[in-house]
Amino acid sequence: MSITVAMYSHDSVGLGHLRRNRAIAFALAEHLPPGSSGILIAGHPAATRFSLPAGWDWLVLPGYARTPDGYTARALHMGVSGLSELRSLTITAALAALSPDLFIVDRHPFGVDDELRPVLDMLHTTGCVTVLGLREVLDTPAVAHAEWRTAETAAAYDALWVYGDPAIHDPVASGEIPAELAPLVSFTGYLSRGRHVDEGDPVEAPYLITTVGGGSDGGQLARIAARTRPPEGHRHLVVTGPQMSEAELLAVRALAATHHTQVTRFVPNLPTLIRDAAGVVCMGGYNSLAEVMATDTPALVIPRNTRRAEQPIRARALADAAVSDTIDINDLTPRRLGEWMAGAATRRVSREHVDLDGLHRVGHLACDLLAEVSSHV
């Protein structure tokens, strides 16, 4: 019997949410019965740049943007409540027509402004299995705890999947996930090995690469990287991300004009380029590091230190586990970055002590969960 899957990510800042769901979609396509299909709900038009498995498609919603005062509509002239209602009605109608067997939500149990609440209520009447997927680091325990609606989440979801290795960071033990939800938690391991990679142009070796994720908040790192002279005989590729503003991109390119540095907004084959690089410099987002950990490429993590403590916590945990190096952005200079690059170019890093098989495990978890729920019907 074929299985229909729906996956949701709100996608206000960065592309990590949709890229995480896309990686899982490819893993599920390999493990679910033949003929299974799915839809990925996302909130950024860049989603369609990424391929999907056969039988899967994107549903791209009008998007949110984040401001110092919170969320706002990215493009439409309407308030957050109106945008939330529009998105909620769209998702509900789509899933009512699709009638999924499995619904996987990334990070936010009820979406922005509770836009998923009517969706979840509708799906519960159909017997759909619901899963909340969480990255391994949420925030400081106090901040994370204040955001949970524990009883409502427990009623809304059949399982919580944590995409990490508890030996590196355990959000249940830290208090980021309430103890009351612990019975629902399964640790998958990092979503690293076995990621689907699109084809793209190779880069002439040897080279180093700097990537700033989606790019909306990576301007400072990209400017420092562009001013950094790579080791003798090496090239330097700076990937700014599709969300970096045009003005910021032009500034980065101007700084790189006199160095052996290439600046590009997007590459479809980033995991392959990271694998073959002499070293990689990145921010502390989950997906960037999941891709890095699938390789033995030395990595320097420059975590975002605004809004949430998630990236600094992750960067420190991975540095403590000898997975990567880390420097605070305020301590980073072109000279210091150049010194790190010179050292990285002469070594590789083993990450065999980390559980990196989450993409293999989610397929088995999904099949087991569907079978368990089916047996109780």
pLDDT score of 376 more than 70: no
Between 21 and 14, the higher pLDDT residue: 21
CA separation for the pair 323, 340 (Å, rounded) = 15
pLDDT-derived band at 259, boundaries 50, 70, 90: confident
pLDDT score of 16 more than 90: no
Q: Are 235 and 263 in contact (CB under 8 A)?
A: no
Query: According to the model, what pLDDT value does residue 65 have?
Result: 85
Query: According to the model, what pLDDT value does residue 81 have?
Result: 93
Range of 160-169, 235-244, 248-257 with top mean pLDDT: 160-169
pLDDT of 289-338, one tens digit each?
Answer: 999 999 999 999 999 988 789 999 999 999 999 999 999 999 999 999 99
Query: According to the model, what pLDDT value does residue 257 have?
Result: 66
**Average pLDDT, whole number, for the chain?**
94
Strand partners, 236: 208, 261
pLDDT-derived band at 15, boundaries 50, 70, 90: confident
Q: At what angle do helices 16-31 and 358-375 cross, to 10 degrees?
A: 70
The arithmetic mean of pLDDT across residues 354-376, rounded, is 89
DSSP 179-203: GGGGGGEEE---B-TT---------
Please give the model's pTM, rounded to 2 decimal places.
0.95
**Angle at Cα 191 formed by Cα 60 and Cα 173, nearest 5°?**
110
The arithmetic mean of pLDDT across residues 64-83, rounded, is 88
Q: Are 234 and 206 in contact (CB under 8 A)?
A: yes
Query: According to the model, what pLDDT value does residue 68 have?
Result: 78
Which residue segments constitute the domains of the chain, with CATH numbers given? 4-193+357-375 (3.40.50.2000), 207-344 (3.40.50.2000)
Query: In whole angstroms, how far apart are CA 350 and each of 176, 213, 223, 295?
Result: 29, 23, 30, 8
pLDDT-derived band at 42, boundaries 50, 70, 90: very high
Q: Within 10 A of 316 (CB to CB), how many other CB atoms are there?
A: 16
